[in-house]
Chains A and B, each alone.
Chain A
């Protein structure tokens, strides 16, 4: 059984303009010891699907449907029989404990008026009941683990005294404090320079090897995915349009969106022409009935407008939702 198994997850947000259907029935699974990438543009629902898992949706957000099985237990709010308190209580007991999250912007996630040490030991105090005498030692170990030099001094400092790369390392250390089974990293390197980014990615890979945690990496950067992930889900318009091993996605992409994405990404090692995808992503207040990509797809057919294609399995690991593969029978 997978560590995290999501089935038919649907999340929407009520706004003045209407209900935004951010996540529209996605299913995915992540095992221990693997790094899985969720790739998509802004508004594709990649972050909101994971916020739904973490129970961190904003006030107006709601999980409408679907099951979220984490570590053998159902953690979708639907399964708490509308008992919000029980849900919150349970989520609080696992968040930062067995299930943790790394956020994009290290500055807004760290509390500016608390020292690094205070923030680092908080999950240990809350979840692990570690004696106060040992807390300091654990904090030093954690900072050392994420490669921060002179940890003793850093612990006494405040977030503003650290550089962006250091702050992101601190956030990773906090996420790792309780040796979680699963880490969800939401664009962990987007705010950082490439030089720092490369190191943070290496660090995440190393830590995965060491702890055997499952990792979900949410990103829009195909380069980051190529360097870190063994499996990939491609999201578009609130749906997963293609999934497969990294090699399957990069070397034999089947969905026109995946193909388009790969053709318009800058590869500094090649001199190929950039082929942009025309148009812009769909409006999720009134999403198209059929394939979300239909308006930008050069190979769109009549059926694409009306019906959403089902996922077709091309191999045990490679799946795609597109009428072209359905018809062509690849």
Chain B
């Protein structure tokens, strides 16, 4: 766990929008100067409200989007400079599980074809070895070998998510970006998938970036967690530290809004709530992005964007902690 497998520095992903005949050209700053590291065999959780840029960040890491600026270093190599053979290798080692298992599996392919496809593309093993790998993967994710010939529509949401996990494992990746892998599933099924992901990690030493808006699940699976707001990481900390002693006012507000499945606790809990809505990413406030909703905002917050700095064992981007 000492060696960072992924190092992200000053990453920006911006999308230009508008710019028609009359419309002004604008820029959505979905990811705005994000820096963090993920260690080997670690799960790094990413939380935040919808629209905070957490999915865009995940997609930039696997090169679905090209970063506007900044550097991604994966297994010691600058991802931006990869091409040809090296890029192939990068894609083999960096895989992704998507949120919606109803949209991410091709309905016209059998389960066996779906899981084998990455190996076909990357030309790994002989046809016979691929078949064997498919059945061993099915077993790994808790499906039956005779499911090979069935089609995705014959499976429930949880089973489909198992199929997409098997597909990502086909290439023996070192890193998997999990973009809300459980939010489309029922509670009793969510726990099954989380436990499966944990078991796979222990067996294969994979690192995860686990994106979710369900803070309970993220805490459970992650060693460290980053809280994102309007494209910026506002706090990064050990998962239990972050939950028990959140530092950034945004993290505090976010955590205090999670409903706890315990009626007595809910009756006694003070209601610390966020006012207003998340501002548009087209028009991010100057200085600290959270200042428009922050109860502690001062003049300085509007003028100067706080940088992540070490406070105790966590890193926080807030002027309160200087």
Contact = CB atoms under 8 A, between A and B. Distances in A.
Contacts of B159: 280
25 contacts: A164-B50, A194-B215, A195-B49, A195-B254, A195-B274, A198-B256, A198-B273, A221-B259, A224-B259, A226-B259, A227-B259, A227-B260, A247-B263, A262-B261, A264-B188, A265-B216, A266-B191, A267-B261, A267-B262, A268-B255, A268-B258, A271-B240, A276-B194, A280-B156, A280-B158
Contact of B258 (A164, A194, A199): A194
Given A195-B254, A265-B261, A276 B188 contact: yes
Contacts of B254: 194-195
Contacts of B240: 271
A246 interface: yes
A261 B188 contact: yes
A41 B158 CA distance: 12
B27 interface: no
A294 to B, nearest CB: 15
A121 interface: no
Contacts of B213: 193-194
Interface string B253-294: 111111111111110000101100110000000000000000
Interface string A255-294: 0000011101111110100111110110000000000000
B274 A250 contact: no
> Which 10 pairs of residues, A with B, have the shortest CB-CB distance?
A266-B216, A223-B259, A276-B191, A264-B191, A198-B257, A222-B261, A41-B186, A276-B192, A277-B188, A193-B49
B50 A193 contact: yes
B268 to A, nearest CB: 12
A42 interface: yes
Given A246-B263, A268-B243, A275 B191 contact: yes
Given A165-B277, A276-B195, A226 B271 contact: no
B190 interface: yes
B187 interface: yes
Interface in A216-271: 220-227, 246-247, 250, 260-262, 264-269, 271
Contact of A226 (B191, B220, B266): B266
B186 A266 contact: no
B189 interface: yes
Given A41-B188, A198-B257, A220-B186, A247 B264 contact: yes
B263 A226 contact: yes
A134 B237 CA distance: 55
B217 interface: yes
Contacts of A165: 277
Interface string B47-68: 0011000000000000000000
Given A265-B187, A267-B260, 13 more contacts: A193-B50, A193-B213, A196-B277, A221-B259, A222-B261, A223-B261, A247-B264, A261-B187, A261-B188, A262-B261, A268-B243, A274-B194, A278-B192
Interface string B200-222: 00000000000001111101100
Given A165-B277, A220-B186, A267-B262, A195 B257 contact: yes
A268 B156 contact: no
Interface residues of A, number: 43
A202 interface: yes
B191 A274 contact: yes
A201 interface: yes
B295 to A, nearest CB: 14
Contacts of B278: 163
Interface of B: 49-50, 156, 158-159, 186-192, 194-195, 213-217, 219-220, 240, 243, 253-266, 271, 273-274, 277-278
A166 interface: yes
Given A220-B186, A266-B217, A194 B257 contact: yes
Contacts of A199: 273
Contacts of A222: 187, 261
A269 B262 CA distance: 10
A247 B262 CA distance: 8
A305 to B, nearest CB: 21
Given A266-B219, A276-B195, A42 B263 contact: no
Contacts of B191: 264-266, 274-277
Interface string A157-175: 0000001111000000000
Nearest to A263: B191
Given A193-B49, A194-B215, A264 B260 contact: no
Contacts of A275: 191
A8 interface: no
Contacts of A202: 271, 273
B263 A197 contact: no
A226 B267 CA distance: 9
Contacts of B255: 268
A318 B163 CA distance: 40
Given A163-B277, A222-B187, A276-B192, A198 B49 contact: no
A265 B214 CA distance: 11
A268 B215 contact: yes
A139 to B, nearest CB: 21
Given A250-B263, A269-B260, A276-B191, A42 B216 contact: no
B258 A223 contact: yes
Contacts of A196: 277
Contacts of B186: 41-42, 220, 281
A258 to B, nearest CB: 11
B214 A266 contact: yes
Nearest to A224: B259
Nearest to B156: A280
A289 B73 CA distance: 58
Contacts of A42: 186
Nearest to B269: A227
A39 B59 CA distance: 34
